[in-house]
Amino acid sequence: MISMDITVWITAILYICFLSQLIRRNYAYLFSEYLLVGLGAGIAFVMAVETLLGTSKVQLVVNQNYFFLVALLLGVGLFGRLIKGYGWVGRWPIAIMVGVGMAIATRGTIEAEILHQIYPTITGLIKPGDIFGTFNGILIFIGMISSIFYFLYFTKYEGTKGRYLGKLAYMGRCFMMLFFGASIGQMYVWRATYLIGVFRHLLGTWLGL
């Protein structure tokens, strides 16, 4: 049975507008695209303002933390980029945001993405009583070493030694190609998931099939 819910109808019509792009680019598609971007920006703005008002009220009125005004002023300074001649005002908050963002991201990077990746690769090589685990560990180890060799540029792959090193680097390239292939496959699954959501809405929620 077809849904009588107006929001379901609006969603279904917008989905059809989006899908119409598969035939050719048209105004219905453009309308839905612009609507999505506009709504996204609108929701983000409203949500940010609501959180800001709630936090400001507590910080300034209840806690009387006037240092918070500095953060507010820096936030307002971002809009300086929109006024001719005051673009420089916007550079300060952006510089602070980039600096803080980099610092916060960096604090865990060395451990999470370097040390803690290398350590289990080396220690997890042999898993007693687990043949597949051991095979997996050795495969990951070979993949890591050979992939690193692919990025070593200090040696020329010449002569007998060079030929073997070259083959190792080629093996690393193969491992990376496998990873990229898996990533592309996953990207396909990801997009397919979105499509399933669209058709489940159109066929199930909207048309009631």
- For CA atoms 97, 43, 41, 106, the dihedral sign is positive
Minimum CB–partner distance for residue 190 and another protein (Å): 3
Q: Mark residues 35-74: x for contact with another protein by CB under 8 A, - for none.
A: -----x--xx--xx-xx-xxx-xxx--xx-----------
139 lines the binding site for another protein (CB under 8 A): no
Minimum CB–partner distance for residue 15 and another protein (Å): 11
Contact 90, 80 (CB under 8 A): yes
83 lines the binding site for another protein (CB under 8 A): no
Contact 157, 163 (CB under 8 A): yes
76 lines the binding site for another protein (CB under 8 A): no
Site residues, another protein (CB under 8 A): 22-23, 40, 43-44, 47-48, 50-51, 53-55, 57-59, 62-63, 97, 100-101, 104-105, 107-109, 111-113, 116-117, 119-121, 140, 179, 182-183, 185-190, 192-197, 199-201, 203-204, 209
